[in-house]
Amino acid sequence: MKYLALGILATVASKKPILEMKKLMLNYRLVLLLIVTILVACEATDLPKYEEMSEFELVMHNALLPENEQIVCQEKMSDWVGGSFRRIPRRCFTVAQLKQLQRDAEFASRGRNSASQPNPNAGTFGGGLMQ
């Protein structure tokens, strides 16, 4: 009987560290799940979707920004472009992006002999916003 009691005690004693290890692993998993949830929640704060903003919201957004960081939107339009009917969605850019597009268009439109002379018709965007 004495050996039976010692065997049961040995079995119970050997399972105790395993149970503690399982509890510890469960705690680690819960902490890890909590950390991942917090990181995902922080990542969910995206930049505002300027294309979905009204004109009033854009004016309020641009009120305190420097000129190059202000947002300018080209309204959506449908028209015949190059012989086919196209729908162009509303697109928004910063003023700095529009200036870069204008510089790129001017550079691309220059001829080989007139590389130093700017083309006055190049770089118009959205009906000549940047003129």
Nearest-angstrom CA–CA distance, 8 and 43: 52
Asked if the structure places residue 126 within a domain, the reply is no
Within this chain, do residues 64 and 93 fall inside the same structural domain, yes or no?
Answer: yes
Instruction: Supply the pLDDT for residue 9.
Output: 47
Q: What is the pLDDT of residues 35-78, one digit of tens each?
A: 888 777 766 556 778 888 899 999 999 998 999 999 999 888 88
Read off the pLDDT of each residue in 90-96 and give the average, rounded to a whole number.
91
Rounded CA-CA distance 113/119 in Å is 12
20 and 33 share a domain?
A: yes
pLDDT score, position 130 = 47
Domain that holds residue 60: 50-109
Q: Are residues 64 and 40 in the same domain?
A: no
DSSP annotation of 89 reads: -
pLDDT at position 95 over 50: yes
Distance CA 116, CA 131 (A): 19
Asked whether residue 121 is domain-assigned, the answer is no
Q: Give 121's contacts (C-beta < 8 A, 6+ positions apart).
A: 109
Q: Are residues 81 and 99 in the same domain?
A: yes
Same domain, yes or no, for 54 and 23?
Answer: no
> Has residue 31 got a pLDDT over 80?
yes
Joined tokens for residue 66: 């420097």
- Answer yes or no: is pLDDT of 129 > 70: no
